[in-house]
Amino acid sequence: MSVSDTSSPAITATAAVAAAATSPTAAQLTANLWVTGGALAGAAARPFKRSIEGSTLSDDERSLHEHFMLLAIEAAQQAESLGEVPVGAVLVAPNGEIVATGYNRTITDHDASAHAEIVAMRLAGQKLQNYRLPELTLYVTLEPCCMCIMAAIHARIAKVVYGTSDPRTGACGSVFNISGDPRHNHSLEVVAHIKQEECAQQLRQFFKQRRAAQKQAKQQAKAQAALLSAESNAKS
């Protein structure tokens, strides 16, 4: 019988069940692909990179990073003025030139991808006429999410420096560690917690004010409804 002869009565239900029991499931194959993806692709093993804490840097290095992070904080203020979550980013060349500045514009532009980092990378790409941005350092006030760190990897960004961690969607070690995965075809350096308190306070204050405004709006709506109800009862 030919192996390709699937119409043969020799292929019984029992044999089919036995074959299925010894065959890897789709889930197993997917899991194996995630674990051994780099090896399957023939990629050379790379060391697993972890974020470098800003507090461990020399005074000169930290001072330089703080200078550019302050510019990112200023950009975040522009986002806040538009009612956006205050996250700002700047892309800096090795000579200290500011190549591009970005801030959150998701609500303004009706664009879920318009995070500060993406906006900055788009502007830099247009300016340099190249989607690849090697040698540039990306400063951002909040730890990048999965989308943004992958965009940085695709753009061949040399280094990412962020202010405060994102305990919900951070992809540089807080929740995911996409930046440190050795299977990528580009490895970037990550420096964490530069001007951490300032960046965190900017976000805390924004959400505190927004919650207060939402609470006030609910109270006003409730009071208005009660007034209308009282007027209706008085007329009846």
Question: From residue 92, how far is each of 2, 18, 103, 117 by CA, in Å?
Answer: 64, 60, 15, 12
In a domain, 26, yes or no: no
Q: What is the CATH number of the domain that holds 131?
A: 3.40.140.10
Per-residue pLDDT of 127-156, as tens digits, reads 999 999 999 999 999 999 999 999 999 999
Place of tokens 């330089």: 64
In a domain, 173, yes or no: yes
Place of tokens 């538009």: 82
In a domain, 109, yes or no: yes
Whether residue 27 has pLDDT greater than 50 = no
Per-residue pLDDT of 49-78, as tens digits, reads 668 999 999 999 999 999 999 999 999 999
Q: Are 50 and 188 in contact (CB under 8 A)?
A: no
E-strand stretches of the chain = 52-53, 88-92, 98-103, 137-142, 159-164, 189-192
In total, how many domains does the chain have?
Answer: 1
Q: Are 161 and 117 in contact (CB under 8 A)?
A: no
In a domain, 35, yes or no: no
Q: Is 148 annotated as a binding residue?
A: yes
Whether residue 32 has pLDDT greater than 80 = no
In a domain, 195, yes or no: yes
Per-residue pLDDT of 73-107, as tens digits, reads 999 999 999 999 999 999 999 999 999 999 999 99
- pTM of the model as a whole: 0.75
Q: Is 65 annotated as a binding residue?
A: no
- Domain limits for position 136: 52-210
Q: Is 199 annotated as a binding residue?
A: no
In a domain, 40, yes or no: no
In a domain, 36, yes or no: no
CA–CA gap between residue 104 and residue 113 (Å, rounded)? 9
Question: What is the arithmetic mean of pLDDT over 219-235?
Answer: 80
**Which residues participate in catalysis according to the annotation?**
117
CA–CA gap between residue 56 and residue 59 (Å, rounded)? 9
In a domain, 218, yes or no: no
